[in-house]
Amino acid sequence: VGLAAAAVYAAALLCNQKVTQNEVSEVSDISEVTIRNRYKQILRAADVTT
C-alpha cells in the first residue's frame, strides 16, 4: 500500500499537481516517511535523478 501511495504522489508531481507528502499521507493513511522512502525507491527503479 505504501508503494501505491508513493505512486500517486509521483504521478501528481509528474502532472504538475501541487500535492504534498502530507496530503497523500492523510488520504492514504500511510506515513510520510513511508511515502518518501517508496518514492525514492520508484525513482531509483526508473533510473530517474532529481
49 pLDDT exceeds 90? no
Supply the pLDDT for residue 14.
93
Q: Where along the chain do its domains lie?
A: 2-45
CATH architecture, domain 2-45: Orthogonal Bundle (1.10)
Whole-number Å distance between alpha carbons of 35 and 23: 11
Supply the pLDDT for residue 48.
75
Nearest C-alpha neighbor of 35 from the set 19, 14, 18, 46 = 19
Confidence of residue 50 (pLDDT cuts 50, 70, 90): low
14-41 residue pLDDT tens: 999 999 999 999 999 999 999 999 999 9
Length of the chain, in residues? 50
